[in-house]
A and B are shown apart, each in its own frame.
Chain A
Amino acid sequence: MSRSIRFSRRQVVRGLLATTAFGAATKLSGCSPSSEAGDDTSSAAGGSEEVIVGFIYVGPKDDFGYNQAHAEGAQAMAAVPGIRIIEEENVPETSAVLETMRSMIEIDGATVIFPTSFGYFDPYMLEMAAEFPEVQFFHAGGLYQEDIHPNNVGSYFGYIDEAQYVSGVVAGHMSETGQLGFVAAIPIPQVLRNINSFTLGARSINPAATTQVIFTGGWAEPIKEAEATNSMADQGIDVINCHVDSPKVVMETAEERGLYTVGYHANQAPLAPTGYLTGAEWDWESIYTALGQQFVEGKTLMAGDIDHVLRGGLAENFCKLSPYGPAVTAEAQADGEAAKEALVNGDLVIYKGELDSNDGEAILAADEEYEQQNIELEKMDWLIEGVKGSVGS
């Protein structure tokens, strides 16, 4: 070796950096036992003082829409003594959600999981439910089938189309052209049901009313949502409703174009102060709080203490209406309230004969009706007469 032992300033700086990095790495490799909160190893069935509940969202928690409605509900559940919630947002519907569920169960010790997006249900949530029979899984809107699905799977969903129906009544009153617009994400039963109920509500006031539907093809497609809203405004449509993850873009665009708006998921009145008529809102807070209390009391799906299928509408506080906006006339408000009353009392059935689809097929004969609980409604693949658009694509 002929190198003389001298160091340049740069070499010294590098050396120092490297040493620090090494130190950090040593700490990183975690010689000390982890003492994180979620580290309790108590068995999942019981024994831990607090029930750990995991919530998974497909988008951001503050999206003014679907995920925000669930996240607010989760916060309400967190207020129940004995419940601790853990949350993860922006989890895609791939094996990533499997890993998220597994990690919530194995690392955080969660004993209840709420994967809130539709697409999480099959195959991901069902797969996990089969693997962890002692953990309860609750899914918003999934189809629970008693003899097929594991015993620890529950499904809850609100008949929010009741609120859509009432919104339709108000929209039918307020529309001058009789042309309503609906910006929808993808043609799945829950979405179709909202479109149909909204249209039925409007046609109960104005039998000639029509609803133009545009499917954007995705839950969060802000550019297409704005385009759809603008093209509807150009067509002479004067009330816009929507079913996308975040109605923000639709509401703001419609407000700019001077249209009336009907909100969805959460109250969007602040986004469209002049044109906002009313809206169909989830009321997850009451459901989640009730479920949270049941978890703390040790009730489970597996023991049969909690129903596998939780459903309810306006009467059961699964959903609610936004306060009427300033533009709503007294007459429209009165009819809206009357429809709401009738739905809460059970005097009004939304889907009753005679009912045809918009491509001419008979759905219900004159003496038939679908009660809200009817499973056929959860498999809906048709649009009723008066809706312009097709389920095809």
Chain B
Amino acid sequence: MSYSPPPASRQASDLGTTEPRDNGPKDNGPKDNEPKESGFLWLRSLEAIVLPIAALLVALLIFGGFCALAGADPIGVYRSIYKAAFGSWSAWQNTLIRASPLMLTALCTLLPARLGLVIIGNEGALVMGGLGAVLVGLGLGDALPAGLGQMTMAIAGMVFGGAWIMLAGALRHYRGVNETISSLLLNYIAIAFLKHLVEGPLRDANFVTKPSSAELDPTLWLGTLPGTRIHFGLLYGLIICILAYILIQRTTFGFATRVTGSNIRAAKIAGLPVGKLTLAICFLGGSAAGLAGMIEVAAVQKRINESLVSNYGYAGILVAFVSRQNPLATILVAILLGGILASGGILQRSHNLPDATVLVFQGIVFLCVLFSDSLYGKIPYLRSTTR
């Protein structure tokens, strides 16, 4: 065992590249350090699997320490989290139910991010999507057959949510307004608009527990997947995430988006229609969140009220960042977050921990995952050493 700098063989392989590499297994160095031609594909994907898992385990250790400080038995807490989130089919369903809106709302941040925009208007887009869907749904009544009616509602939700975020994109492109701020402010407008409608014009006077719209016709309700209590929203979330992946990675549109995201000037010089791309990607992002809103009203609440505003949008931002803007990783991260949320209750009930505990856990997990981001290409055993 020695404390000397790394073995000669690795240095040799490093010298083979023209990249200015750090020449030791340092944990923090210049950021641009993806293994380039020196890395085999499978090693890179191995890295993409091992690092997040390691981050998760480190997070569990830190959280264990936190629990011990709070006076709970860490092993018991781990066991409870596992039991409540993934321990049984029922627990899995709980997790998946919580995960499905997050997959869709995450795309609202993720897609524009590929074009270099930081959009955080997910909550607003979800609310507008829900509103659009309910307005159309209430208008439809039982006029259309079930499938067609739901489809119309979904399209309405997507158009409303998409248009809402496109507004932020348009402000950005035509007037140079910061899209992060404008999309954040659009959230408040959407929520205030929702409140105005359910307390005024849309209000159903017969529903007394909470100011709400009238109930949707039962033909418009989204059912559950056969044999489960998971609504169809999960399926839509999965499909849309996969479509988003294909769109970004496998189409010209996606390529143009990524190019614009990496270097907007180069994109303009190359003649890419940056304005159209901005509007389109914002619309797509917003429509994903809008669809989440439609699903929430059609599958869970059956009418619209303020309960629609329950943080799915903001949680989606987190999911988008943690999944490193990859729509497939989004699925996994959403399930992880869903599991963490699902375990929140049992921590309160069985271990007498305060309800914020689950947020602490969530924060630690995501910080660790984000930190592990900086380690890509720097873990010696995950770097290619032979050619």
Contact = CB atoms under 8 A, between A and B. Distances in A.
Interface of A: 1-4, 6-12, 14, 17-18, 20-22, 24-25, 27-30, 34, 36-38, 54, 60, 86-96, 99-100, 102-104, 106-108, 118-119, 121-123, 141-143, 186-189, 215, 217-218, 378-379, 381, 392-393
Contact of B3 (A9, A91, A94): A9
Interface string B1-23: 11111111110000000000000
B2 A94 contact: no
B57 A10 contact: no
Contacts of B82: 28-30
Given A4-B9, A88-B345, A93-B307, A119 B209 contact: yes
Contacts, number: 158
Interface stretch (B41-49, B58-66, B143-151, B284-292): B58-66
A10 B348 contact: no
Contacts of A379: 208
B78 A28 contact: yes
Given A1-B386, A8-B25, A28-B78, A95 B349 contact: no
Contacts of B81: 28
Contact of A88 (B94, B301, B306, B355): B355
Nearest to A218: B306
B87 interface: yes
A12 B3 CA distance: 10
Contacts of A2: 9, 385-386
Contact of B54 (A18, A34, A92, A121): A18
Contacts of A87: 348-349
Contacts of B5: 8
B171 interface: no
B199 A107 contact: no
Contact of A188 (B57, B87, B210, B386): B210
B97 interface: yes
A393 B200 contact: yes
A6 to B, nearest CB: 5
22 contacts: A3-B9, A4-B8, A6-B7, A18-B54, A18-B57, A24-B78, A28-B60, A28-B75, A28-B81, A36-B76, A36-B80, A87-B348, A90-B355, A93-B210, A99-B342, A102-B90, A122-B209, A123-B302, A186-B210, A187-B199, A187-B211, A378-B208
Q: Name the residue in B3, B6, B60, B346 with the highest tally of chain A Cβ atoms < 10 Å from its Cβ.
A: B346
Interface centre among B6, B209, B341 (most CB of A within 10 A): B209
Contacts of A392: 199-200
A253 B200 CA distance: 29
Nearest to A6: B2
Nearest to A56: B345
Interface in B82-116: 82-84, 87, 90, 94, 97-98
Interface residues of B, number: 63
A392 B207 CA distance: 15
Given A24-B60, A122-B207, A393-B199, A94 B9 contact: no
Given A4-B9, A103-B345, A381-B205, 4 more contacts: A3-B9, A91-B345, A119-B209, A218-B306
B22 to A, nearest CB: 13
B61 A24 contact: yes
Contacts of A90: 355
A88 B349 contact: yes
Nearest to B200: A393
Nearest to A186: B211
Contacts of B363: none
B310 interface: yes
B268 interface: no
B300 interface: yes
B75 A27 contact: yes
Nearest to A30: B79
Contact of B97 (A25, A95, A217, A393): A95
B307 A92 contact: yes
B196 interface: yes
Contacts of B34: none
Closest 10 CB pairs of A and B: A21-B57, A28-B78, A393-B199, A118-B209, A86-B349, A93-B307, A393-B200, A92-B310, A2-B9, A119-B210
B336 to A, nearest CB: 14
B349 A27 contact: no
B27 interface: yes
Given A123-B302, A393-B200, A22 B57 contact: yes
Given A94-B310, A102-B90, A108 B349 contact: yes
B199 A217 contact: yes
B324 interface: no
Contacts of A22: 57
B380 interface: yes
Nearest to B380: A11
A11 B385 CA distance: 16
Nearest to A94: B310
A286 B209 CA distance: 25
B7 A24 contact: no
B195 A217 contact: yes
A17 B355 contact: no
Nearest to A121: B209
Contacts of B10: 3
Contacts of A38: 349-350
A106 to B, nearest CB: 6
A107 B346 contact: yes
A99 B100 CA distance: 14
Interface in B333-387: 341-342, 345-346, 348-350, 355, 379-380, 385-386
Contacts of A28: 60, 75, 78-79, 81-82
A61 B317 CA distance: 29
A90 B345 CA distance: 10
Contacts of B76: 36
Contact of B94 (A25, A91, A102): A102
Contact of B1 (A6, A91, A106, A218): A6
Contacts of B208: 143, 188-189, 378-379
Contacts of A218: 306
A106 B307 CA distance: 25
A366 to B, nearest CB: 27
